[in-house]
Structure 1
Amino acid sequence: MTGRTVIAFIMLALALVAAPARAHKPSDSYLALKVAGQQVDGQWDIALRDLDFALNLDQNGDGELTWDEIRSQHEAIATYALARLALTSGAALCPIVAGEQLIDNHTDGAYTVLRFRATCPAGGAALGVSYRLFADLDPQHKGLVKLEHEGATSTAIFSPEAARKELLLRAPGKFTQFLDYVRHGVWHIWIGFDHILFLLALLLPAVMAPIAMKEAQTLRAAFIDVLKVVTAFTLAHSLTLTLAGLGVLSLPSRWVESTIAASVLLAAVNNIVPLFRGRRPLAAFVFGLIHGFGFAGVLADLGLPQGSLVLSLAGFNVGVELGQLAIVALFLPLAFLTRRTWFYRQLMTTGSVVIALIAAVWLFERVFDMKLLPV
């Protein structure tokens, strides 16, 4: 692999990360289904920014959604969403009737909360779910579904490529449930762009030898440096994720999200003006404690089955670590191969400035609860 090829590959990878980074995370919705006999009660949290793109909710075009604008479109929202959801029991369709709509705030913005009820002609061993929300508009959209039945909880992720699933009403096996939450953990570290940018900003100096050292940086030395940072980050966020997931400790989500944005900003500035001075692992640990609460906020949206609370929490944590390791495994060899190039020097400076600017916008938005970016 030539140096130019490696550089082009890294630039492509950064473009893929940076493009959606402005939006904090890609499009998700949260669908909760509670089955009792032939009745299914549902609650569907859908991001208003996504609905605005699909239905043009901002009728006066001023860039701000008001309660009156949203309320006047309740029928259109329900019609649009429920036309893209189908529930079945066996071969029989379960008719869905829309209920009330509310507004709720998630960590990435305001969501409409659509409640509905469905009645299945006959009870069965599984509930069929066909999910096509935004499939024609956003191929990256994911639907995170939680099904409750007689105290048992199961989860699933829907996408345009996996739009139909049969969700068993009986409690899933422990191993199946564990794997479900592993998948959730992997997915959420990959869409947690603030977490990714924090980690990458801390790792950028790993392949650069200190100025005082005359010998070139070795891959082994770079690996040890990366290992220290990643281990510190992992230990910290695993600790607080576990405590928050078990309900032992909690912090206000706005404070958590603001501090996460500040951590990205400081990690990027450190690559331009040394702030941590050789203590990047310590910084990774300190800020990793806060990032753990951020992961816990995502997990709260999914819900944890009380019958296997610890196992599901462990699965989600394992998924986060696997997703994180995949990012590091891609970053380290490519960074090491390009460490002496003009591109990598620009990445350390200009790239860090770009990350710092994005993080500064996130910080302002989260502290003052305002939107600066048109997403």
Structure 2
Amino acid sequence: MIKLITVLLLILPTLALGHKPSDSYLTINVEDGGTLSGQWDIALRDLERAVGVDQNRDARVTWGELKARRAELEDHILSRLTVTARDGDREQVCTLDSDGLKVDDHVDGTYAVFLLTGDCGLSPLSLTLNYRLLFDRDASHQGLVEVRYGDQPGQPVALSNQHREQTLSRDGDGGLAALATFFRQGVHHILIGYDHILFLLTLLFPAVLVWRQGAWRPKESMREALLTTLGIVTAFTVTHSLTLALASLGLVNLPSWLVESAIAITVGLGAASNLAPQYFPRRWVMALVFGLIHGLGFAAVLADLGLDGGSLVLTLLGFNLGVEAGQALIVLIFVPAAFLVRRTAAYRRWFVPIGSVAIIAIATVWAVERLAGAL
């Protein structure tokens, strides 16, 4: 028991790091003759980590501080992006410059917006992007990129430390590429979204148990456990898919701090339900209601891409399928393992209550941090 508590306390600081990953948003428009235009949105907190913009160390980056470091910031970001144009056998590295700077509010904070221009020296049939921003500071950072050839629909792609380079063709099937790219994004997002994982686990802890006569007791068959799991996962999937779609379409828009704080609270309530299960007999109802909040959290990844039309539909579909695949992976790992040990006192009397208490502690840290960040 002491060893279990020690392990839970050791992982608590890691899990308490939060949920929203580091992303930048890059849009490149390819015009006739190979001229480029676009913008690159990068979070002020990421620029502070990379270059150091907060000159007076007051934990706030002002417009004046941003302008004072503009030249250095532009040199830094442009040195970490290479765009290569190809037209048949010809290949040319495009020039890139920043000719404007402004700020904009995204769902997770304020971003610097660098207005880009460029020239490839030829009319490209394809562009190859090599993206290297922030990987030396944050290996989990991603660049969410959209390339638009003239009036064609945009081709979105996600670039990461493991996938730094991507070629996007003028006549390529951007739809299928978007579907595949954001399927991977969905899987990645659920697997690094500790708050979503912990919420799901709090509901699955007792999926192999039944509360009877004031104690947790093992379910007799895998069929019972699977039916309970199916009800929880289905309810969670239906509602988080609904709000993910509504938020991505711009029909629902809540502040990031509010959504993230609410998610932390749902994690704590889910864990608390394991300590007083007599008051929460239908756990699928909890999954159904709280799934609405978690869907808004998933949508934060897509909300700032500015996609529309077919690109948005395929991106949304791919991302949601990826989330479900990642969620299924967690269920397939946890539920069979829990079923095997469900009869042990260690699982019923120690793991479920102590694990739930530890998750309540983690959720409390998250809620306090996220609410404080809004002040």
The two structures have a TM-score, normalised by structure 1, of 0.84
Structure-1 separation of matches of 2:57 and 2:174: 50
Superposed CA RMSD in Å reads 3.2
Distance 1:229 1:74, change over 3 A: same
The equivalent of 1:28 in structure 2 is 23
Equivalent residues in 2 for 1:226-375, closer than 5 Å = 226-274=229-277, 276-339=279-342, 340=344, 342=346, 345-367=349-371, 369-370=373-374
CA deviation after TM superposition for structure 1 residue 132, in Å: 0.8
The equivalent of 1:56 in structure 2 is 52
Distance 1:16 1:117, change over 3 A: farther
Spell out, residue by residue over 1:313-345, the C-alpha distance to the aligned partner (whole angstroms, 9 max, x if none). Answer: 322221221121112122222333344363775
Distance 1:262 1:107, change over 3 A: farther
Q: Is the 8 A contact 1:181 1:312 kept in 2?
A: yes
Spell out, residue by residue over 1:2-50, the C-alpha distance to the aligned partner (whole angstroms, 9 max, x if none). Answer: xxxxxx9xx9999889725513233322222222222222322223333
Q: Is the 8 A contact 2:16 2:366 kept in 1?
A: no
Q: In percent, how many aligned pairs have the same letter?
A: 43
Amino acid in structure 1 at the alignment position of 2:363: A
Secondary structure of the 2:293 match is: helix
Structure-2 separation of matches of 1:152 and 1:342: 56
- Deviates further, 333-342 or 38-47: 333-342
The equivalent of 2:153 in structure 1 is 152
Structure-1 separation of matches of 2:56 and 2:347: 45
The equivalent of 1:19 in structure 2 is 14
Distance 1:302 1:188, change over 3 A: farther
Q: Is the 8 A contact 1:178 1:312 kept in 2?
A: yes
Spell out, residue by residue over 1:70-101, the C-alpha distance to the aligned partner (whole angstroms, 9 max, x if none). Answer: 33322222211111101111221111111333
2:71 to 60, 69, 75: 75
CA deviation after TM superposition for structure 1 residue 261, in Å: 2.6
Q: Is the 8 A contact 2:80 2:131 kept in 1?
A: yes
Structure-2 separation of matches of 1:210 and 1:16: 28
CA deviation after TM superposition for structure 1 residue 285, in Å: 0.5
Structure-1 separation of matches of 2:350 and 2:104: 41
Structure-1 separation of matches of 2:310 and 2:30: 17
- Deviates further, 85-94 or 58-67: 58-67
Q: Is the 8 A contact 1:31 1:44 kept in 2?
A: yes
Q: Is the 8 A contact 1:17 1:193 kept in 2?
A: no
Structure-1 separation of matches of 2:218 and 2:336: 19
Amino acid in structure 2 at the alignment position of 1:116: L
Amino acid in structure 2 at the alignment position of 1:188: H
Distance 1:16 1:114, change over 3 A: farther
Spell out, residue by residue over 1:207-261, the C-alpha distance to the aligned partner (whole angstroms, 9 max, x if none). Answer: 3332437665543322222111111000111222233334455445444333323
The equivalent of 2:204 in structure 1 is 203
| 1:223 maps onto 2:229 in alignment | no
Secondary structure of the 1:186 match is: helix
Structure-1 separation of matches of 2:326 and 2:72: 38
Structure-1 separation of matches of 2:73 and 2:223: 55
Q: Is the 8 A contact 1:276 1:283 kept in 2?
A: no
The equivalent of 1:130 in structure 2 is 130
Amino acid in structure 1 at the alignment position of 2:42: I
Q: Is the 8 A contact 2:155 2:311 kept in 1?
A: no
- Corresponding residue pairs, total: 363
Secondary structure of the 2:300 match is: helix
Secondary structure of the 1:327 match is: helix
Equivalent residues in 2 for 1:87-236, closer than 5 Å = 87-90=83-86, 91-149=91-149, 150-170=151-171, 172=173, 174-212=175-213, 217-236=220-239
Distance 1:353 1:241, change over 3 A: same
Gaps of 5+ in 1: 1-7
Secondary structure of the 2:296 match is: helix
Structure-2 separation of matches of 1:189 and 1:285: 18
Q: Is the 8 A contact 1:34 1:147 kept in 2?
A: yes
Structure-2 separation of matches of 1:370 and 1:20: 20
The two structures have a TM-score, normalised by structure 2, of 0.84
The equivalent of 1:5 in structure 2 is none
Distance 1:310 1:159, change over 3 A: closer
Q: Is the 8 A contact 1:335 1:344 kept in 2?
A: no
CA deviation after TM superposition for structure 1 residue 186, in Å: 2.0
